[in-house]
Amino acid sequence: MPARPPSLLHPVTLLIHGLFRVLSWMPLSVLHAMGWLLGWVSFALSGRYRRRLFAHAALAGYPRQVALATVGESGKLVAELPRLWLGRPVPVAWAGAEHIESTHQQGTGVLFLTPHLGCFEITAQAYAQRFGAVHPMTVLFRPARQPWLRDLVAGARQRPGLFAAPTTLAGVKQLIKALKAGQAVGLLPDQVPPEGQGVWAPFFGRDAYTMTLSGRLAQAGRVQILLSWGERLSWGRGYRVHVRPFEPLNGGPLSDDPLEAAAQINRAMEALVRECPAQYLWSYNRYKSPTR
């Protein structure tokens, strides 16, 4: 959905869009410094945020020191968005790009699974910039409830080699079509789906409502699953996109059973999180009940 012309936007929306434009010109180092401060302000003002942060990190076996390290990183996640959505390209290094090249050579569709770890926005952008001209990517996203953010995101996420599909039946059909055409699809499988679109499966030792869409897409023809996440480098130096094959612990393929497949994917997400727990979004309400 294209963004509406500025003349049709509410004055407050115009003001926020203008602020994003200004911030998009700032260096990543400045934005990350601002985000670090924003993260700690949010931590200080919200008791619910603090309790959830500590509880989720402890559930995974991490002490408070690790949970506290994520406070500044969570703020950076917000502050870097203007630059990523509207600004100049940021420096990106790769670790595992050969796995993407291998799947392209085989002519299969590619399903990327990325947790709420590091900068998950950069993974799709970096893929589109490097591979999207020949093998475009479609990402699933939930439209923002706030009109000003919905308009901004809709325009920012549509770029050469990168398409967005809403969390609707039409969006799912768009993802399946892309995979059958040998293209790439990106999902955040640790995002809580609406009621009726998931199963309860273990995530760091506690049942979490987990989407079944990942498993359904994996069965949509010839599809290979790759795991990816975007590491945020220190001092605004950019990002490193990590890519690796999906390898269930039992050594076999993804299960046809929705519950077992969800458990397999959750274990894969746990393994990625343990690579850099200080950049995982522990404050995300992962264990909430689904909504209709």
Residue 154's pLDDT is what?
Answer: 67
Ranges of the chain whose pLDDT falls below 70: 1-10, 12, 143-144, 146-150, 154-155, 250-251
Q: Is residue 291 part of a domain?
A: no
End-to-end C-alpha distance for the chain, whole angstroms: 24
Q: Is residue 286 part of a domain?
A: no
Euclidean distance between CA atoms 56 and 37, whole angstroms: 22
Euclidean distance between CA atoms 187 and 197, whole angstroms: 14
Residue 147's pLDDT is what?
Answer: 66
* Maximum alpha-carbon separation in the chain: 57
Contact present, 239 and 230 (Cβ < 8 Å): yes
Q: Is residue 285 part of a domain?
A: no
Residue 155's pLDDT is what?
Answer: 66
Please tell me the total count of domains within the chain: 1
Q: Is residue 284 part of a domain?
A: no
Residue 148's pLDDT is what?
Answer: 63
Residue 7's pLDDT is what?
Answer: 44
Q: Is residue 177 part of a domain?
A: yes
Q: Is residue 120 part of a domain?
A: yes
Which tokens in the block code for residue 129? 């910039």
Contacts of 246 (CB under 8 A, 6+ apart): 113, 225, 226, 227, 254, 268
Tell me which residue range forms the domain holding 17: 6-279
Q: Is residue 142 part of a domain?
A: yes
β-pairing, 184-187 vs 109-113, is parallel
Closest CA to 162 of 193, 189, 130: 130
Query: In degrees rounded to 5, what are phi and psi of residue 95?
Result: -135, 100
Q: Is residue 292 part of a domain?
A: no
Residue 17's pLDDT is what?
Answer: 78
Residue 273's pLDDT is what?
Answer: 98
Residue 208's pLDDT is what?
Answer: 98
Residue 2's pLDDT is what?
Answer: 47
Residue 252's pLDDT is what?
Answer: 73
Question: Residue 86: exposed, middle, or buried by beta-carbon count in 10 A (0-12, 13-18, 19+)?
Answer: middle
